Structure 1
Amino acid sequence: MLLDFEKPIAELEEKLSSMKQLADENKVDVTEAVKSLEEKINSLKKETFNNLTRWQRVQLSRHADRPYTLDYIYAITNDFIELHGDRQVKDDKAMVGGFATIGKQTFMLIGQQKGRNTKQRQMRNFGMANPEGYRKALRLMKLAEKFDKPIVTFIDTPGAYPGLEAEERGQAEAIARNLKEMFTLKVPVICIVIGEGASGGALGIAIGDRVLMLENTWYSVISPENCSTILWRNWDHKEAAAEALKLTARDMLNFKLIDGIVKEPLGGAHMDPQAMYGIMKREIQKQYKELIKLTAEERISQRIEKFSAMGELK
C-alpha cells in the first residue's frame, strides 16, 4: 500500500531496480549512476518524511504494514505467555496481554491488537476493545503488581468500541476504573503509542510513569475524520481538523502531555520492522532502568503530579 506522498519515492526506487536489472543482464557497469540515484532517493526520503503534515502522519500511523502490538511482543521476546479473559464476561480479542522476558527482566505486556486481513480485523474488532478488554487489562496489571513485575502497554486503537452492548456492560466505568487504578500501581508502568491513540480507548491503558509516542503516531480526544464530521458535517476537512487538533508526537511533547518521542526508521516503522523492533526493545530497557531506581512511593507521587499538572493555566 502506497500513500500519496510515498509515490515519488516508489517511482525512483522502481527506476533504480530496473537499472540494476538491466545492468546485470547486459553486463554493464552503472555503479556511478546507481550511486547517484540512491543518493537522490535518500535525499527525497529525508525531505519528505521530515516535513510531513499532521494528516500525513495520521496516515502513516494507520499504514497496513505497520507493526502491531503482537508483532512487537513476538519480536522482542521469545517466551510470551498470553493470558485471556476478564473473569466476568469473555476474552476480548482486541486487547492482548501476558508475561514475557525482555533481556533478563520479566514484564507484563499489554496492548490493543488490530488485524491484517478482513477475518482478523473482525476477530480483533479493528482494535476497539469492549469493557471486558479494559477489565482484562486491569486484571493483568494487578497480577503484575502482585508478582512485582513492571508493565508495558502498547497503544494502538481508533477508540473504545462505541456499540450499545459495550455501553450496557459499562464501557465508561471500565475505562474510568483503569485510570484510577493505574495511578496507584506500585510497579513501573511504561506506555507507548505505536499507532493510533484515540480518545478514552487509548487513555484506558495509558496512565504510566513514562508515556512515549513513536514518531509517526497520533494521540487525541478525537480522530480528524470525526472532528471534521462534527464541525463541517462531512470528512472533507479532515486535513484541516488534523492541523487544528495538533495531535502528533511533536505536538504532544510540546504540550508536555508525553515524556518522549521514539524515533522510527526513515520512512516509518513499516519500512524496516526489524530495526524498529530493536529500537523498541532498547527503549523499554532504558526506561525500565531509570524507573527501577525510584521507590514505589516516588513513582506513584511523580505519576500523580505529572497528570495533575496537565492542562493547568499559569
Structure 2
Amino acid sequence: MIDDVLKNEFVELLATNFKPEEINEIGRFLLDKKYDHYTISGTERHITISSRKAALILCDTMGSDRNGGLLRLMQFVAGLDGKFFLNRTVELQRLESFLTSMTRRGYQYDFKSGKIVPAGKDSSRLKNWGALKNDKIYDCTIMSIDIVKNSELVRSHGQKVMEKLYFKFSSFLAHLLEHYDGRLWNWAGDGGLVAMTFKEHEIRAVLCALDIQRSLMVFQLSPDYPLSEDFFLRIGLDSGKVKFNLDTGKIVSDVINYAAHLEKQWAHPGCVAISETVFHALPSKLQAAFPQKDSFEGRTCYSTPVIA
C-alpha cells in the first residue's frame, strides 16, 4: 500500500522531470492511447495544466487500480533513468531521494529486474540505500576506520578474543551508523570503510566520526568488553565523486584512497582527520573541532586535537 507521503514525493518527482504533455504520454503508454488528462480532470482545453497537476491526475488515475497501478507507474518511471524515451535521454533529478524514501517505507527498487519489491527487515543496511545505481557517479563522504596496533593486540590476547572484540565493535558501529544514515561498504574486523551520501553527507559523516571516537570509552566500559586494556581508533575522511558498484569491495576511487591514506599515514590514535574538501563543507562551529592543520599528499588536511 503506497501511503500519501510517498505518493506526493512521486508526484514531485514526475513534475520535476517531465513536461505536462510528456506525463500525458506516459499515461497513454501505460493505460490507453486515448488517455487524456484534460478529459479525465474535466479541464477546459484553453486552461494550461501544470506539470504537477498532470502528475497528480496520472497518479490518481493509476492509483484507482487496486491491482497495483501506482506501483507499476513508479516502476516504469524509475526504469526510465538513463534511457531514451519521448525523443530524449531521461536523466531523473531527485530519483535517489525518492528511492531512499521508498526504502524507508518498506519498498525497494531492484535495478536488475526493474521491479519494486518488499525491502525486508534489513533495509537500513542496504549498501546502496535502496537508491544508488551501478556505474553512476554520486557525491559521497568516505570514512576509513582502523584499530590502532591491531597486530600487537592479536599477539597479546589471541585471535579468538579479538574476533569477539571485532564482532562486538561492528555491532556498536552499526548502531551508530543507523543514526547518521551511514553504510558499511567494506569491513575486515579491525577496520574498513563507511560511506555517506545525500543531503549534508559531509556534516553527518564528521559528526558520526566524532561520535565514534567519543563513544568508544563507553563501549570499553561495558561489562562484556573482552580485553583487559583499551584500544584506540584512527579515522580519516574525504569527500567527492564516487562511481558506485553494488559490490562495494570493487569500487575504485581517489576519494576512498585518500581517506584510507589519511587515516593510516597521518591521523593520530584517537583522532579524526579530514581533508580540506570535508573541512570547507562544515559550519564554522564544527570546523573549530579541527584545530590541527597540515599538508598530506599535496592537500591541506585537518585533525581533532592530538591525545597526549
TM-score above 0.5, yes or no: no
Higher fraction of helix? 1
Which of the pair has the greater relative contact order for Cα pairs under 8 Å at 6+ separation?
Answer: 1
TM interval, shorter chain, is under 0.3
Higher fraction of strand? 2
Please report the TM-score for the alignment, with normalisation by the length of structure 2: 0.26
Q: Which has the larger radius of gyration?
A: 2
